[in-house]
Chain A
Amino acid sequence: MLESVLLTIATAATPLLIAAIGELVAERSGVLNLGVEGMMIMGAVTGFSVSLLSGSAWLGVVAAIVVGAAFALLFGFLTLTLVTNQVATGLALTLFGLGVSGMIGESFVGQPGMRLGVVDIPVLSDLPVVGRLVFGQDPLFYLSLLLTAGVAYFLFGTRAGLMLRAVGDNPASAHAQGISVIGIRYLAVMFGGACAGLAGAYLSLVYTPQWVENMTAGRGWIALALVVFASWRPWRVIAGAYLFGGVTIGQLHAQAIGVAIPSQMLSSLPYVATIVVLVVISQNRRLTMMNTPASLGRPFVPDR
């Protein structure tokens, strides 16, 4: 019982974690991409259709990553090269993705999809309670944790990560030092898109292996909120994603048991919890300022 609850929570949290960690990198470089939902749904439809047509779920995953990155490249071209407004372009990207995915996916509606198999480490996965949770999950679950660790190390443990943060905090001085601000921002945005695409593939290949229009149902927006929630620190994204997933699943269980609390109140709990934590975090002004990329959302045009 406890084990299956924890498994359900992990499934609910993983796509949020993957998408949020990608967006975190993009925002650390100073680019606010509100198109996460759009890139995610493109990843979902690509992952589903490619795996169905090719017969390989992994090919679907790779295709979803590529398409997510390609969508982000489009966003990068508009906001970084043509210097359009990031907020408006991001919103347009979301609308665009939702529409295009519906069009592409039309012929796939009503077809059962492929499921990405689980990794099953023999013996260990039979351990009580934690067995399946730690040793018997889908591969993308492990990848999501590796991604987080990798991003945390990259941002705060490597020179390239320092450069990326410098670009996000003060692009002018980074530029003066000879760092290619635009180049780094392109890469960061594309990494974000690749992660969003992967998160989408998780939805259509692991979470609910099927294609239905609009199946992301707002998860891209939650991923965006999680980045702020985590105050742009990778490890805190895990905490946020699992807190959100835990409260979401917990309230469903509370309802199924028959806890006498109105269901509307229970349904709003994940959002209330998020707001409460945000308020608590923002109490410490200096810490917030320290972590927020100083030039987030501001365009940078290098003088030539």
Chain B
Amino acid sequence: MIVELGHFALTLALALSLVQFILPLWGALANDEPLMNVAGPAALGTFAAVAFAFLALVHAYVTSDFSVLNVVENSHTLKPTLYKISGVWGNHEGSMLLWVFILALFAALVATARHTLPLRLRALTLSVQALIAAAFLLFLLVSSNPFTRVNPAPFEGQDLNPILQDIGLAIHPPLLYIGYVGISISFSFAAAALIEGRIDALWARAVRPWTLTAWVFLTLGIAMGSYWAYYELGWGGWWFWDPVENASFMPWLAATALLHSTVVMEKRDALKVWTILLAIVGFSLSLLGTFLVRSGVLTSVHTFATDPARGAFILGILVFFIGGAFALFAWRAPLLRHGGLFAPVSREGALVLNNLFLATACATVFIGTLYPLALESLTGEKISVGAPYFEATFLPIMLPLLFLIPIGQTLAWKRGELLGAAQRLMGAFALAIAAGLAVIAITEGGPVLAIVSIGLGFFIIFGAVSDTITRCWPKGAQLGVVWRRAVGLPRSAWGTTLAHAGVGVVVIGIAASAWSTEDITLVKPGGRVQVGPYSLRLDGVFPRAFGNYREEVARFMVSHHGRDIGALEASKRLYTTRGMPTTEAGIMTIGLGQLYVSLGDNEADGAIGLRAYWKPYVTLIWLGSIIMAAGGLLSLTDRRIRVGVPRRRIHVAAVPAE
């Protein structure tokens, strides 16, 4: 019964979203206030209906209702409850439902942000958002219904793909989805601005928290996915330039650019048309990623048969929204008034360069991902574009951008002074050079690029910190003044500092991979393997059973200079329902580095094959990402952009404009 109600709720949500699309749009065009006011309640209603449908599916999973096909195919009574819940979105239909759920959630949040948004902008934004929701609801109902029943119901389900039975599935997709769908809000705002034919600093201020929210979650989602791949795949890599990864990385690059261009628009009333374009491109890339992955165009003929109807449907949605948005852009953008002139050497000038580099980086990933496909369909020629291509093109674009971060942050708005900025950054630069030299001294050399990158990472961190210090600490000021200034500094300024420092941390983590060591070897019980500065002793291999899998565990004792520092277990699992093997890497975090052990085949003489790595400072890659996201969150709490709170302008005299 609940299942049928869930199905009904989806249909209801479709109807409501159509109402939410049509009436407010009509109201905005006819300048009819009551009609525009329909948007809010309709959005809340759509959200309630979709939330009910989502909970109905969760209920079916938790109670192992095997009369529902989706549950049969992806669940099992023995599965731990956490994975029963995360299994809801561990499949196509459920993941689409999650997508729509978050879409509706965001619309509901916009609907409640009544005080911060002008009525017409809110009505138009919610209208566009409703159209997106309607398209995906239709897709769910027509070709991906998660509530399809099966008769007779089997006694047991087929279990979830073991690789997905991981805490990663509970965290990663929701984070990433919030990011993707959050960009849809920026898209809807952009479309609304185009329909309305006006865009100003107020628009920028309204859209920024949403973009920032999307960006924070996208950052966390990608970092989490990267870490999941790292520990689950077992060969120690954390980024592969795989089309699926690129599909999530492109919207991130676009969102990062959008975040920065919105600041310019808010402060200087410039880059309007470009910002609108970025918002459209950002969500278009999200849709494109959805299509690429869903339709299977990027997988080879060796892959399974994807349902062509679904691929075609998503392609339809993609063409409709991207085509429609660009058509709207071409038609209406010339109406938008260009504003703001600015000097090239200024904060906004640096932000324009930031956008240039980010847009180029995004385009490079786009071209690298799609070029083989385009070339093959045009000429029949087959080429591969893999990690070496991206490393050769992406890095030369990113390095200057990274170097720009502290400089841009130090430049003043309107008219900056390069010399002054350079002087203020001297300290940070000197410290970064010292850090680079220290690395050379400690490691006795290493790849030049890695050492330069470490220096660069430190430059970004010190630059971010020194910028904050100069703002809080005028020469000869007393501590009380410094404290008042630090407190008076807007949270968004602290957020910027933190996020930029996070970038530096990530850069250092990536560069440090140049010093990781690997050993592929055979070891017998009692035998030792030396990896980097650590020694592993295989204490034994024993079987273990747990819920829906059995595993063979190899237990190692890790020691450093002859002193035992702890045990590490790596295992090979067999998930009984599906008869599928997986390897679970053994990971020990020591300081900021990780010892990583992955098991291979057993030999006849009792020895086991293993790959062991020592990865110094590898955790900085993910810690840095978390710091970046924390910076974004901190910035979100800035009272000037807090969502849904009536804004009061506070005059802070002592703080220079950021």
Do A and B assemble together? Answer: no
Which residue numbers of B lie inside 8 Å of A, CB to CB? none
